[in-house]
Chain A
Amino acid sequence: MLIKRLLATVLALGYLGVLGVVGASYYFGLKQFSARPAAGAGPVVTDKDLPKIQKNVQALEKKIAALQARGVYIVVDTGENRLYVKKGAEIVRQAVVSCGSGDVLEDPGGKRKWVFDTPRGEFFVRSKITNPYWVKPDWAFIEEGEPIPKNQEDRVEGGSLGDYALGFGDGFFIHGTLYTRLLGRNVTHGCVRVGDKDLKEIFKIVPVGAKIYIY
């Protein structure tokens, strides 16, 4: 009987203790919560100041609008493997593409390492090439376990980049592919692969100098 009573008392005290701790936690938490600036807590604007602020808002909106890309530009979503050609907020054309695999290749010699990511950031179309050929870099031979050729001609491969290519710097291109079944997947060494039909249209409507945003 005594043990039962003791047990009940311990349980009740324990329960009260937990309630106390949780209550105190919420008290502190809510105290901080209420410390969030309330509506209207900022500096007070007088009727005299209002036109000046409104003018300032308009000026800032104009300044931001002036930074936006003019004409057509390309947006690439590397996660979704989608390419959009846009003009302002309007999507002119969209395509399923293949972006970088994110794989890592290390030179067995141990000195070099490549990460096959599609570079992210703001770029622009530097060149437009018809019937491009690929000058295979060292990593292409290392990946295949082949010796790196000494002659430049042995690096040249035709046909693998499709009919068109748009260069955006550092050897990266938006180009065609023989691997159309892999469109929509991350399989490339960093370039953006596009299907033939979409590539032809993109090549036609995007001029040299157009901005490219890759995220």
Chain B
Amino acid sequence: MDGQTPDKEKTLRSQQELTWEYELAKEPHFYFVLDAPGKNLELRVRGMVLRTWKLERVRFWGKPAFAKTVRLVRKSALKPPQRNVIKPGETTTTPKDPKAAATFELEALELKDMPRSFSLEFDNGLHVSVRTKESGMRGIKGEIYWYGSLPLRNMLWARKGKTTSELEIRFENEKDAQAIYWIFFEGIKGLVY
């Protein structure tokens, strides 16, 4: 028997990925495809690509599940965005007089209010940290977490038979990271490979 040639492997992989995608595309729900080696993230529905994000960096610790369908069970951020509560008769979403729109102080939940750094937890135990390219102290803090805290946690958990699987995706533009928080609702399914 000859060895697995790259072509054969690619075909086999395509078959597997398309099988998983077809299961998702059959439903009328949005799903995502995270191609970690290709540094590409896509939002899709019915097999159509609605939005694409180029990732600036992808790295992982532990043994993340790089295949099969996953479901987002929790989004967590240090400061999750808060909704504005309207006081009847006092605050409104839109001013009564259209001419007042220029000076109207908008109180709404917008993309700019979304966190730039947060994590996504999936049903298979995969933990994805979403980050934006940071410099200065914030950047250093992130590196200490990645190279210090994570391996340490890995070692301590390994003794208990548990392991930590962390995938970090980093965006060049903070608006892209915020868009992920905005778009990725809890329950969204996707493929990670």
- Taking a contact as CB atoms closer than 8 A, the residue among B50, B66, B106, B154 that contacts A25 in the complex is B154
Nearest residue, chain A, Cβ from B81: A102
Interface segment among B70-78, B96-104, B115-123, B128-136: the answer is B96-104
For the complex, is A155 an interface residue (Cβ under 8 Å from B)?
no
Contact B93 A189 (CB under 8 A): yes
Q: Is A201 an interface residue (CB 8 A)?
A: no
Evaluate contact between A104 and B84: CB separation under 8 angstroms: yes
Which residues of B148-171 have CB atoms within 8 Å of chain A's CB atoms? 148, 150-152, 154-155, 158, 163, 165
Instruction: Please tell me if B8 contacts chain A, counting CB pairs below 8 Å.
Output: yes
**Which residues of A are found within 8 Å of B145, using beta-carbon distances?**
none
> CA–CA, A69 to B13, complex, Å?
26
Q: Are B98 and A185 in contact (CB under 8 A)?
A: no
How many residues from A make CB contacts under 8 Å with B?
Answer: 68
Task: Determine the interface band of chain B, counting residues with CB < 8 A from chain A.
Answer: 35 or more
Once bound together, how far apart are the Cα atoms of A70 and B14, in whole Å? 25
* Chain A hits for B102, CB < 8 A: 181
In chain B, positions 1-22 with a C-beta closer than 8 Å to chain A are 1-4, 8-9, 11-15, 18-19, 21-22
> Total number of A-B contacts with CB less than 8 angstroms?
191
A94 sits at the interface (CB 8 A): no
Binding site for A on B (CB under 8 A): 1-4, 8-9, 11-15, 18-19, 21-22, 25-26, 28-30, 43, 45-51, 60-64, 66, 83-86, 88-90, 92-96, 98, 101-102, 104, 106-111, 114, 148, 150-152, 154-155, 158, 163, 165, 178-179, 182-183, 185
Given contacts A46-B1, A64-B22, list 4 more A-B pairs with CB under 8 A.
A29-B155, A116-B93, A185-B110, A187-B106
30 contacts between A and B (CB under 8 A): A32-B62, A33-B61, A47-B2, A50-B8, A50-B11, A57-B11, A60-B15, A60-B18, A68-B46, A68-B48, A79-B114, A79-B182, A80-B111, A101-B107, A104-B86, A116-B93, A121-B29, A121-B30, A142-B88, A143-B86, A143-B88, A144-B88, A145-B89, A179-B95, A179-B101, A182-B104, A186-B106, A188-B93, A215-B43, A215-B50
